[in-house]
Amino acid sequence: MKKFLFCFSLFLTGCGTTPYSDDYAEHTNTLTNGFIPETELTLAFIDENVDLRGVYNQNDTVDSTQMLYVDAVGGSAGAAGLIGQLIAHSFIIDSQRDEKLQAQQMEANQAISVLYGMTANLTLSGLVQDPNANLIPFELAKDETVRIKPIFFSDREFNRPYLTAIIWVPSNETGHNGKPLVKYRNLIQVHGDILTDDKIERLKNSDQALMVEILSALLNKTIAVVEKEMTGHYSVEDKNPQTYFIESNSRKKVVRGVIVEETCQDRVIKDLRSWVIVVPSQSLCTS
């Protein structure tokens, strides 16, 4: 009995570690041959809104919630009653975690509120510069069309904006839980250059032209990376993973993976989760 309750409590703890945000995706790929032929590739934004969010410390731990488990084993409720109490306690913790993350996100958004006035009337398609991009309107999307949800991020210092895009190809099948499956799903993250003090000051003074320039550069680079990823250009075969350090907002972010493309400006890394991460060359080091 004790062993069962211990295992059950571990199960509840594991449930609480599931990511809640929509800027996360586990890699899935069941496409034929693992990619889409270039002649068949189409992309579509799921909507035209420019989604801009503040960066916050995603510490979702909550203070200990005191709960007395009544009649744990010997009482009339027995094991079933205890399990019910454990589930209720888990839901309380999850609710507190959600509330904390929501409060942190709202605070981070408030810190960059000056930027929202410059994005209110922008559309994603309006930021796209490449007329040859394989983009089509969402209402024309086909079964094999790659759906894209871009999310722009900025910290309160405005010194390094970046973009996280969730991309997927839907499937006509559903899982055992009734939820729709996907043929492909992944996360693309594009880091921009560290902004100069002059550019940061211009953003604080609501320089919309600069804002459009920054967002457009991130989005167009993302589209180019999505096109290469979906057509099988980023192979990791015969390459040994290395540890890379990314200079990000005065901190170093550790990434373990392989470089799948190098340009004069950027390095493209596919990490161990198969996420594709684009980093300015000067912001990347191996020690």
User: Is 159 inside any structural domain?
Assistant: yes
Instruction: Provide the residue-wise pLDDT of the chain in tens; the chain has 287 residues.
Output: 555 444 544 444 444 433 346 788 999 999 999 999 999 999 999 999 999 999 876 544 444 445 454 554 455 455 555 555 555 545 555 566 667 777 887 888 888 999 999 999 999 999 999 887 899 999 999 999 999 999 999 998 998 899 999 999 999 888 888 888 999 999 999 999 989 999 999 999 999 999 999 999 999 999 999 999 999 999 888 889 999 988 765 567 899 999 999 998 999 999 999 999 999 988 887 75
User: Is 80 inside any structural domain?
Assistant: no
- State the Cα–Cα distance between residues 47 and 31, nearest whole angstrom: 24
User: 187: helix, coil or strand?
Assistant: strand
Indicate the helix (H) or strand (E) that contains 279. strand 276-280
User: Is 17 inside any structural domain?
Assistant: no
User: Is 20 inside any structural domain?
Assistant: no
- State the Cα–Cα distance between residues 136 and 145, nearest whole angstrom: 9
- State the Cα–Cα distance between residues 268 and 276, nearest whole angstrom: 7
Q: Residue 191: beta bridge partners? A: 162
User: Is 34 inside any structural domain?
Assistant: yes
The domain in which residue 161 lies consists of: 26-58+112-285
Count: domains in the chain? 1
User: Is 72 inside any structural domain?
Assistant: no
User: Is 19 inside any structural domain?
Assistant: no
- State the Cα–Cα distance between residues 3 and 73, nearest whole angstrom: 13
User: Is 211 inside any structural domain?
Assistant: yes
25 near 185, Cβ under 8 Å? yes
Tell whether pTM > 0.85: no
- State the Cα–Cα distance between residues 96 and 118, nearest whole angstrom: 33
Q: Residue 277: beta bridge partners? A: 189, 269
Indicate the helix (H) or strand (E) that contains 98. helix 78-111
Q: Residue 268: beta bridge partners? A: 261, 278
Widest distance between CA atoms in the chain: 72
Length of the chain: 287
What residues contact residue 114 under an 8 Å CB cut-off, 6+ apart? 203, 204, 206
